[in-house]
Amino acid sequence: MSDQPKMSAATKELLKKVRMMVPPMLEKFHKGQLGRVAVIGGSENYTGAPYFSAMASARLGADLSHVICTPPAANVIKTYSPNLMVHPIMREIGEVPASHEPASELASPIIAMLSNLHTVVIGPGLGRDKLMQATVAAVIKAAREHNTPLVLDADALWLIQNQPDLIHGYKECVLTPNVVEFGRLAKAVGIGEDEMPDTGEAGCKKVAAALGGVLILRKGPVDWISDGSISVKCEQEGGRKRSGGQGDTLTGSIGTLLAYRRLYLEGLWGG
Ligand SMILES: NC(=O)C1=CN([C@@H]2O[C@H](COP(=O)(O)OP(=O)(O)OC[C@H]3O[C@@H](n4cnc5c(N)ncnc54)[C@H](OP(=O)(O)O)[C@@H]3O)[C@@H](O)[C@H]2O)[C@@H](O)CC1
Ligand SMILES: Nc1ncnc2c1ncn2[C@@H]1O[C@H](COP(=O)(O)OP(=O)(O)OP(=O)(O)O)[C@@H](O)[C@H]1O
């Protein structure tokens, strides 16, 4: 009996497309050329999520993986792995003087890093703290100006449900909601459950279209992926254990693939 996982024709087709984005290992490449990914997230309560995300980006093949988080999270994450570059730039509201909420000041060194990054993942372990949310809102605005590909998950989706205009129409943006986050996003763009009888393809397409064509990967038993006009699905069966952190791992992996896509489009190899 074969120990190969069963794979549908659609999944095989999808993997063929992904394969096209994987770069060749050419002798001429130097460090950093094959992917510089940053994960913004990590707060006092959540240090594992940004670690899972950034390590996934590194293990899938990004040359350099950064974590941008709060100082208490940074001290912990640094002990998890020497592979990650950890920047203690973010602050929760209790970490700054009460009269001062310097979201734009905090965002400034992160924005300065954008021209040196291929992709930014925002959300794993970010939390819903007001200052953390305002800081990443400023980074998202700047990332749009730089045309930096974004992957938004977890608490960054909380921000988007409150301020959908931040990403409306931004085609370099991937949202990766779980079932609960997807429901909240749909509600935020005015799509009620009665209008969304099918939480599969039709629902995913509808919410992506309502957000102006951002790419939505709606996680679930089948992952539906749509930009509002085209949709594909991943129905490959995974393990049955639903432990925390699987979505975080996905965000970092997408971060690396988006970096590869960008490098391919910039002509780093091929033609
Ligand atoms: N090791 C770490 O540091 C990790 C840190 N993490 C970080 O935690 C932060 C908050 O993220 P979150 O996932 O707890 O919040 P959210 O998605 O609002 O869920 C809240 C409630 O919704 C439900 N629910 C969720 N999924 C469902 C589903 N598929 N199907 C059905 N129901 C579902 C479920 O409710 P219940 O089962 O109790 O009804 C759940 O309790 C965020 O920053 C994230 O990055 C995580 O990444 C994990 C690893
Ligand atoms: N009910 C399910 N059956 C099968 N696979 C699922 C199911 N729910 C989620 N998955 C798979 O698990 C992966 C992670 O999805 P999940 O819903 O756990 O994300 P998440 O809640 O954002 O994760 P995290 O714990 O990292 O925050 C998805 O890519 C999906 O393929």
* Rounded distance from Cα 174 to ligand 1 centre (Å): 19
Ligand 2 pocket, residue 250 CB under 6 Å: yes
The structural domains of the chain, ordered by start, are: 34-235+244-265 (3.40.1190.20)
Which tens digit of pLDDT belongs to each residue from 230-268? 999 988 888 899 999 999 999 999 999 999 999 999 999
Ligand 2 atom 17: the closest Cα is on which residue?
178
Helices (H), the chain: 9-20, 48-60, 71-80, 103-113, 130-146, 155-162, 179-188, 201-210, 246-265
Q: What is the DSSP string of 2-16?
A: --SPP--HHHHHHHH
Mean pLDDT of the chain: 93
Tokens matching residue 82? 């020497």
Which tens digit of pLDDT belongs to each residue from 3-62? 666 888 888 888 898 888 899 999 999 999 999 999 999 999 999 999 999 999 999 999
Ligand 1 pocket, residue 244 CB under 6 Å: yes
Residue 181 known to bind ligand: yes
Asked if the model's pLDDT at residue 196 lies above 70, the reply is no
Q: Are strands 150-152 and 223-226 parallel, antiparallel or unpaired?
A: unpaired
Ligand 1 pocket, residue 164 CB under 6 Å: no
Ligand 2 pocket, residue 244 CB under 6 Å: yes
* Rounded distance from Cα 116 to ligand 2 centre (Å): 31
Ligand 2 atom 1: the closest Cα is on which residue?
221
